[in-house]
Structure formats: structure tokens, C-alpha cells
Structure 1
Amino acid sequence: MADQFSFDIVSEVDMQELKNALDQAVKEIKQRFDFKDSKTEILLKEKEKELVVVSDDEYKLAAVQEIIKAKCVKRGVSLRAFTHGSIEPALSGTVRQISKIQSGLASDKAKEIAKSIKESKLKVQAQIQGEQVRILGKSKDELQGAIAFLRGKDFGIDIRFTNYR
């Protein structure tokens, strides 16, 4: 039996679930009467980790964002994974909004998570490893306690627990 157990804290979006949610949103937009003959478009740029939404005006853009949010919640994609940019004018009288998709923990958030683990007085250790934080402990019960503690805290980002062993 191993003398140390661990898990990783990461912040990433399941891109396949996001694609499925966006496909469902596109289907709903095509069926809705209020979007008939509109120039509404949803574009996912995977490499740049961006979601671009284009529509006729700000009201339709807000409606499209609500549809996307509803579909993401149904598919289990956290809404905290998106950082929405400002609404800007685009070609031929349309408006565009670019949303950044969160990928990896920023160093300040990783430090904040590690600091809160140390302050919690749990018998676990936190190590920052690039864009993730590894939590080490002598028993799985201690790790379960650390997971419960972290779920109760609000870091303002979407965090997931992986590599539990």
C-alpha cells in the first residue's frame, strides 16, 4: 500500500461537452421565431480558447448568451469557466462578444488555493505544479476532507479534482 495518496486540482473545461452544448444552442436558435432572418452566429475557437458570439443587436446577443448558459448548465459545463469580454460593434451593423474559456490555474489562484489548504490545519500538503495544484496526504480520508473543504470555499473560478489515487 502506498504511504502517500494524492489528487490534483485543475481548472479546465471538457471541450466535447462545450461543443455539444453549443450545438444544442445553435439548433434552438435556428428554430426560434425571434431569430428568424437574423445574423446570429456562434463560433468556438478551440486553439485560442475563445467563444465568439455575433448577433444583430445587443438584445439578441443577450438572448443568445442566455441560451448558451442554459445549455452549458444542462451539459455540466461550469459558467465560471467563461470570462466575458465587452460587447463591440462588428461588420454590417452586428455586435460581437468574445468570451475567454478558462484553461489552467493562474499562478495567483494556485497560490491562494495552497495558502487556504495550509491555513485549514488539515494534515495534507499542497504543491503548485505549473497550472495545477497537487494535494498530498497520508490517508484517503484526509484527502476527502481537503476536497470537502475546497468545495466549500469560493475562489471565483471553476476547479475540478483529478488523478485521485
Structure 2
Amino acid sequence: MPSFDTVLEPDMVKIKNGVDNSAKEIATRFDFKGTGARIELKDKEIQAFGDSEFQLEQIEAVLYAKLTKQDVVISFLDKAEKIEKLGGDKVKQVYKIKDGIESELAKKIVAAVKKSALKVQASIQGDTVRITGKNRDDLQVAIAMLKKDMADTPLSYNNFRD
């Protein structure tokens, strides 16, 4: 039976390049000279450090611009609600990188597939959603439907099997 997996996987190489380019620009920009402004990538999160909340907003603008140039969808980043206060007047903002489909999103995908009345079934398998059907054409229609319905989520489709 043909099937494919719906996944949410960021391209970590592109994200690393975007963060590195952001760090270079922050190091050379005139308005950041002599400040504690910096940005770094650790595991699955990006940490931005600055002297004020305004400076963090400027760092965020640089980061988003550099990630967009690397073709990284900004919705992969989950910005922390609270800005952490460090010693003195230093502040820190954390951006978690989404990896894998969370259960809430997986349930939305399964519901969208069931609502579409296509001859396919969706099942949640860990942090992926496997969609199976009797023929390849139904699966291609399901991919097109998911791309339209979940346009705000950067889903990718892999592991296509006949």
C-alpha cells in the first residue's frame, strides 16, 4: 500500500549559516560596537544577548533577515514569551527551533485528512504523521490538500513508498 510521512524538519545547516551570518553582522555593525550584543546557536535553540530590549529587537531583525536569505521559514522558530534578565542591564532572548510534529498539530493534520473525504488514512507515529492510501494519485491529492490547509506550517513530505 502506498504511503508517505508528513514531517516538520528544519534544515540545521541553513539555520547555522543564518546564525553565523547574523553574528558577523552584529560584530561589525556600528550601532552594536562596544555593547554586549551577540547571538549563538546551541543544540536546538538560538540565544540572543543584548544590553536592552530594544537591542534584542534589532538583533531579531538581523537574525530574521539572514535566515530568510538562507530560505529558512521563520515559523520554525518558537520565540520565548519572556525575556530573561541577566546580571546588570543585560538581557537574553531564546528562540527554540521546532523539530518534529507536536501532538496538537498531528491531530489537526489527521482531522484535515479525515475531513477531506479522500480515500486515505492518517496515523500519528511519534513525531511524524503517516498517510496511506490505495493508489499514488490519492496520496498526491492529500499532499496538495495539506499544503493548502496547513500553509502557515512548513511541513515536508518524505519516505514516499509504493
TM-score, normalized by length of structure 2? 0.91
SS of 1:53's equivalent in the other structure is strand
Partner residue of 1:126?
A: 122
Partner residue of 1:140?
A: 136
Query: 1:155: how far off?
Result: 7.4
Cα deviation code 1:6-59 (max 9, x no counterpart): 21111121111110110111111122111111111212121xx22111011111
- Native 8 Å contact 2:23 2:40 kept in 1: no
SS of 1:51's equivalent in the other structure is strand
User: Which of 29, 36, 42 does residue 26 from structure 2 map onto?
Assistant: 29
Partner residue of 2:104?
A: 108
Query: 1:119: how far off?
Result: 0.6
User: Which of 51, 74, 79 does residue 79 from structure 1 map onto?
Assistant: 74
SS of 2:63's equivalent in the other structure is helix
- Native 8 Å contact 2:121 2:133 kept in 1: yes
Give the Cα–Cα distance (whole angstroms) in 2 for the partners of residues 23 and 69 of structure 1.
12
TM-score, normalized by length of structure 1? 0.89
Cα deviation code 1:93-119 (max 9, x no counterpart): 111111211111111211111111011
Partner residue of 1:92?
A: 88
Give the Cα–Cα distance (whole angstroms) in 1 for the partners of residues 35 and 107 of structure 2.
45
- Native 8 Å contact 2:27 2:38 kept in 1: no
Cα deviation code 1:63-115 (max 9, x no counterpart): 11111111111212221111111212112311111121111111121111111
Give the Cα–Cα distance (whole angstroms) in 2 for the partners of residues 127 and 65 of structure 1.
37
- What amino acid maps onto 1:51 in structure 2? I
- What amino acid maps onto 1:88 in structure 2? E
Gaps of 5+ in 2: none
Indicate whether 1:149 and 2:145 are aligned: yes
Give the Cα–Cα distance (whole angstroms) in 2 for the partners of residues 140 and 76 of structure 1.
29
Superposed CA RMSD? 1.5
- Native 8 Å contact 1:109 1:155 kept in 2: no
Q: How many aligned positions are there?
A: 160
- What amino acid maps onto 1:17 in structure 2? K
Partner residue of 1:69?
A: 64
Give the Cα–Cα distance (whole angstroms) in 2 for the partners of residues 147 and 154 of structure 1.
10
SS of 1:17's equivalent in the other structure is helix
- Greater alpha carbon shift after TM alignment, 154-163 vs 124-133: 154-163
- Native 8 Å contact 2:45 2:97 kept in 1: yes
